[in-house]
């Protein structure tokens, strides 16, 4: 989902103020009509990019018809009979198709070209585009070994001795491995 959002921000030249995902597990850990529990990685991503997450309501198909109504058009116009070398080839060709065919057709409802309408009315509403790729974190629940270490992403990290035998929550990105603040771990950076 994060890779898809990153590609969308690059394509549209900015970040949407609100993202309305379906209740997929890459965004929502527990779907609920009133109190959905969000995936921590996607919450951090939304905070870093500045958008709000407003998931579609559970078991409310009428909330999604505008999006799902486009699926048959995309399937018939873009994918039908196509073969792609790899995901990068599919991505590149989808972007080209969006710019030259889908974005330049006369839309039945608005009687406008979607790309022109977007540039005229919607592009100014976007948040600034990211200047660098988002570093997707890795979450783990390693056990503290007798030698005061945990293993996260195939690397060892020191942990206080009073946690030997405990399972701790850990978050790793390209530069750091951290454990959350708690009485037993004191928010220690490993």
Question: What are the domain boundaries of the chain?
Answer: 2-69+103-128, 138-178
- Residues 99-118 pLDDT 10s: 999 999 998 888 999 999 99
pLDDT band at 180 (very low <50, low <70, confident <90, very high): low
pLDDT at 187: 44
Q: What's the CA gap between 51 and 32, in Å, rounded?
A: 21
């Amino acid at each position: 989902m994060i890779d898809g959002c990153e590609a969308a921000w690059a394509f549209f030249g900015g970040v949407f103020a609100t993202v309305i995902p379906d209740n997929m597990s890459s965004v929502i850990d527990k779907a609920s009509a009133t109190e959905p529990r969000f995936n921590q990685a996607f919450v951090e991503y939304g905070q870093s990019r500045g958008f709000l997450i407003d998931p579609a309501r559970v078991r409310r198909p009428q909330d999604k018809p505008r999006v799902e109504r486009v699926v048959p058009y995309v399937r018939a116009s873009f994918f039908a009979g196509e073969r792609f070398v790899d995901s990068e080839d599919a991505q590149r060709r989808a972007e080209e198709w969006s710019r030259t065919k889908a974005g330049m057709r006369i839309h039945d409802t608005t009687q406008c070209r979607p790309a022109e309408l977007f540039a005229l009315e919607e592009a100014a509403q976007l948040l600034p585009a990211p200047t660098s790729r988002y570093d997707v974190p890795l979450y783990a629940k390693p056990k503290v070994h007798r030698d005061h270490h945990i293993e996260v992403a195939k690397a060892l990290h020191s942990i206080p001795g009073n946690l030997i035998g405990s399972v701790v929550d850990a978050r790793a990105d390209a530069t750091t491995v951290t454990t959350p603040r708690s009485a037993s771990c004191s928010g220690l950076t490993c």
